[in-house]
Amino acid sequence: MLKHLQDLGFRAGLFAAAPLPEPEIARVLAVLDEFYGPGRQVAALVPLADEAPLRAALQAAAPSLAELGQALRQRLDSSHTGVLIRRLGLSHLDPASRSFVLFALAQCIGRPTPTDKLDQRIVWDIKVRADKLREGSVSTFSEHPYEADFHTDTQYFPDPERYLSLYCIQPAACGGGRSTFRDLDCILEQLSRSEAGREAVAYLQDRALPFRIPATFTSTGRADCQEVTCAPIFGERPRLRYRRDTLEAGLKVFPEQDGPELRRALGVFQAEIDAPDLRLETRLEADDFFIVNNHEALHGRSDFQDHHRHLLRIRVAELPCA
């Protein structure tokens, strides 16, 4: 179901997947009707109290999808931290149906998680929110057209999801919005080559630092809410968590954790991940699918001008061990 085509470097790979059979798509939609009700809406795809029956029903209804989900998980837990599939085979479906199939695929990989604590929505639209731009209240990379620096997703939560999937509905016509990627092992290997790099890794290893939770994702959703998660950049689980602006915001809340040693280590680390010749950069075209190991890789995006750019994002946590 998942065929390796070539390595793209930095532990990312290009793969191909056979199109999902139409009867399986019909059965997936029928299963979602059963669990979420006929006439379901994408926004209604929220976590269930017990998702095991839903997952089992989807796997039985769509064995090809279940096989793809298992293959993606195995790749991301072993040989690759980034998997790119050109033309997943959903372009003939309307955007809502694509969302439903991607949600089902996520269920076959692990446990899809809600983006925020208020409406619990799992399938998230990455597109420019003009209203928030006008109000100056944009706090997430998914809602504005500017560059997204290298980061791991939900680094501001105690337990970030292991997998992050992106599906492109419409790329930016201007050519911008290019996806960027860096693998942790490659970063550590580069840092190990200099004394400054080794010192930076040693300083940041297992040292809890404050990452402020963006207002959109706090328990109240209010801009005046200051919620912070303290965790290391280099740890055990996840092995990597980082986003420069949420860390800077957290250090403003806890200035006593800031200092010259931290700034020196962060400067070395940031310079390394910003190295332009040590990253994967690719443009996601319509119907492309990119999934990364969010515990072991950074991703980002270049800026763009076309506000019609539209991607779908689903974060997926690991299933608990039986």
Tell how strand 289-293 and strand 82-85 pair up. antiparallel
Contact 9, 185 (CB under 8 A): no
Q: For residue 51, what are its two tokens? A: 């998702």
Cα-based distances in Å from 315 to 4, 81, 200, 273, 289: 23, 15, 30, 23, 13
| Residue 163, CB-side half-sphere exposure with 13 Å CA sphere | 30
Q: How far apart are the first and last CA of the chain?
A: 26
Task: With beta carbons less than 8 A apart as the criterion, state whether 294 and 160 touch.
Answer: yes
The single-letter DSSP state of residue 278 is: G
What pLDDT does residue 146 have? 85
Contact between 163 and 291 (Cβ < 8 Å): yes
Nearest to 308 by CA among 88, 145, 149, 165: 145
What is residue 216's DSSP assignment?
A: G
Buried b / exposed e along 161-172 (16+ C-beta atoms within 10 A): bbbbbbbbbebb
Predicted pLDDT at 322 = 53
Relative to beta strand 124-126, strand 310-317 is: antiparallel
Q: Would you tell me how many other CB atoms lie within 10 Å of the CB of residue 26?
A: 12
d(C-alpha 29, C-alpha 45), whole Å: 12
Angle among Cα 59, 64, 66 to the nearest 5 degrees reads 35
Q: Which two tokens stand for residue 118?
A: 């208020």
- 57-80: b or e for each residue (b if 16 or more CB lie within 10 Å)? bbbebbebbbbbbebbbebbeeeb
Token digits for 130? 């003009």
Using alpha carbons, select from 69, 17, 24 the residue that is nearest to residue 319. 69
Alpha-carbon span 190 to 194, nearest angstrom: 8
Q: What is the pLDDT tens value at each position of the chain, 322 positions in all? A: 799 999 999 999 999 999 999 999 999 999 999 999 988 899 999 999 999 999 999 999 999 999 999 999 999 999 999 999 999 999 999 999 999 999 999 999 999 999 877 789 999 999 987 665 655 555 577 777 888 899 999 999 999 999 999 999 999 999 999 999 999 999 999 999 999 999 999 999 999 999 999 877 766 656 667 889 999 999 999 999 999 999 999 999 999 999 999 999 999 999 999 998 889 999 999 999 999 999 999 999 999 998 999 999 999 999 987 5
CB contact at 8 A, 12 and 83: yes
What pTM was estimated for this model as a whole? 0.94
Can you give the pLDDT at residue 7? 97
Where do the H-state alpha helices sit in 77-120? Answer: 95-109
